């Protein structure tokens, strides 16, 4: 990988793969970027939350041009295949060039091209003494993937540039000028467990092998949600085979479609074969429904040690009904552009845990959703629908982490220059797109009135999943475009 062109970019990206940087693990990657900026003799700043800003003076003759900001986020999504032994807090990403020579990917984990390629691009431009550019700032934010905390905590006045190039998009040849906003919806079911029925046995039922993917970019692909599949089974098992739910886990990130989910259930011993047959029928059903979409989906059950306690029957039933009712996927497309998603929800995570409430230990099932929309009122509407579904089921529901969408400015001077530059370099018109995924542009723009912004990047497939890979030829093209755009601005 280090021998690929442009070498400065790929060597910088290789360095990033060696630094564990899942969301929340900020210090090591931030320290690396601070050290990098200082090693180049450039003004390097870090704010209280950990964002890093590196300033590079303009090339001779461009001192009076408006300043440009190259912006990306430090963190990556930590997703791995279930059979992969890997610790995102400690281990380096095992990246490699695929045998066909066209893609860079990772061995059983996310690659971190989202947004490592963007960060590496800015690093390469900072180090390139031949690059021609206006006054330049490289701005690296923390924890974009878990809540855009770096952008949210950005102080007004820290950035000086007029134009911001967000390097966090995933299809070469497209210029993004707007994005959806989002809000987290979290429902908590508190309960005191009850004793398991004497003579019952326990099964662990698991959905595995779903493709998952980015809950913004991939939500329209109709991929399976492992949590929703599991609860379809649970509803029938509880209704017809006296199953009881002891605990449940599924999904791992708010902005990734759940790839795996598992539950421990208890059943009367005489129902064992019937439930195993039910598992087989549901696996056949899921494979039939997702034929051509999910190629490695598995639904299995295995006997495990019987737990001493399980959920109260009413909590179990309310939870199952709420998950069944909770929408997942595309809720509404833009009427004027029916191929573009306007509003969606990702039923992202479910977990069973214990916590202290009023000096008493209670059990909690927590359900997390990420609701997105490019229309603020639609976002609020769908979040309210989900809130009602869980509230009626007796859960405590909290809406948090709301962030604004990015309203497009199709008349901006930046967009005009970027389109002209792309056409001149490549002999083709770039597509101008409003993206359903969340970008930091909306948040940054709310703090810097009048700043013009564009988001673009190379082609990255399957971000937020272990199938993530980046196309080598488009990285070369992307870097050339960044260089040309800086010269034109």
> Are 219 and 279 spatial neighbours (Cβ–Cβ below 8 Å)?
no
Is 31 one of the annotated active-site residues of the chain? Answer: no
**Active-site hit among 137, 144, 452, 468:** 144
List CB contacts of 470: < 8 A, sequence separation 6 or more.
Answer: 103, 104, 105, 111, 113, 117, 458, 459, 460, 461
Active site residue 75: yes
* H/E segment holding residue 46: strand 43-46
205 closest CA partner among 239, 231, 225, 241: 231
**Cross-sheet strand order for the sheet of 469-471:** 95-97, 103-106, 469-471, 460-461
**Rounded CA separation 100/407 (Å):** 40
Instruction: Evaluate whether 452 touches 175 at the Cβ level (below 8 Å).
Output: no
**Alpha-carbon span 9 to 7, nearest angstrom:** 5
Cis peptide before 6, with omega less than 30 degrees from 0? yes
Residue 134: both structure tokens together: 């206006």
Closest CA relative to residue 184, chosen from 397, 369, 325, 440: 369
Instruction: Specify the 3-state DSSP secondary structure of 267.
Output: strand
Report the alpha-carbon distance of residue 398 to residue 183 in Å, rounded.
10
Residues recognised as catalytic: 75, 144
């Amino acid at each position: 990988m280090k021998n690929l062109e442009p070498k400065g970019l790929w060597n910088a990206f290789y360095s990033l793969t060696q630094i564990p940087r899942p969301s929340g693990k900020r210090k090591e990657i931030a320290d690396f970027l601070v050290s990098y900026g200082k090693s180049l003799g450039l003004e390097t700043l870090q704010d209280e939350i950990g964002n890093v800003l590196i300033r590079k003076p303009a090339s001779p003759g461009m001192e009076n041009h408006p300043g440009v900001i190259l912006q990306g986020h430090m963190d990556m999504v930590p997703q791995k295949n279930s059979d992969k032994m890997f610790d995102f807090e400690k281990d380096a990403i095992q990246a490699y060039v695929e045998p066909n020579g066209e893609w860079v990917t990772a061995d059983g984990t996310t690659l971190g091209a989202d947004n490592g390629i963007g960060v590496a691009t800015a690093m390469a431009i900072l180090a390139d003494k031949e690059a021609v550019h206006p006054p330049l700032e490289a701005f690296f934010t923390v924890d974009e993937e878990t809540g855009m905390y770096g952008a949210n905590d950005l102080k007004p006045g820290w950035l000086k540039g007029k134009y911001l190039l967000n390097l966090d998009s995933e299809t070469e040849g497209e210029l993004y000028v707007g994005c959806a906003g989002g809000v987290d919806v979290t429902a908590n079911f508190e309960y005191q467990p009850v004793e398991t029925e004497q003579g019952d046995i326990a099964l662990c039922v698991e959905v595995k092998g779903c493709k998952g993917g980015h809950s913004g970019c991939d939500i329209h692909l109709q991929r399976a949600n492992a949590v929703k599949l599991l609860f379809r089974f649970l509803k029938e098992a509880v209704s017809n085979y006296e199953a009881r739910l002891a605990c449940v886990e599924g999904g791992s990130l708010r902005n990734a479609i759940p790839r795996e989910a598992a539950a421990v259930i208890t059943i009367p011993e005489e129902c064992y074969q019937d439930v195993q047959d039910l598992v087989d029928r549901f696996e056949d059903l899921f494979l039939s429904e997702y034929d051509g979409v999910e190629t490695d989906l598995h639904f299995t059950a295995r006997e495990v040690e019987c737990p001493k306690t399980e959920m109260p029957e009413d909590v179990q039933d309310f939870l199952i009904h709420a998950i069944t009712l909770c929408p997942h996927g595309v809720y509404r497309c833009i009427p004027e552009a029916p191929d573009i998603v306007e509003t969606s929800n990702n039923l992202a995570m479910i977990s069973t845990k214990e916590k202290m409430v009023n000096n008493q230990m209670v059990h909690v099932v927590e359900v997390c959703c990420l609701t997105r929309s490019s229309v603020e009122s639609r976002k609020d509407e769908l979040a309210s629908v989900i809130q009602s579904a869980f509230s009626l089921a007796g859960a405590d529901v909290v809406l948090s982490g709301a962030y604004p969408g990015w309203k497009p400015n199709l008349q901006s001077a930046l967009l005009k220059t970027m389109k002209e530059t792309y056409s001149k370099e490549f002999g083709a018109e770039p597509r101008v797109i409003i993206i359903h995924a969340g970008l930091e542009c909306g948040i940054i723009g709310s703090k810097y009135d009048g700043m013009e912004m564009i988001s673009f990047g190379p082609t990255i497939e399957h971000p937020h999943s272990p199938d993530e890979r980046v196309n080598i030829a488009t990285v070369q093209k992307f870097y050339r475009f960044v260089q040309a755009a800086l010269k034109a601005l």
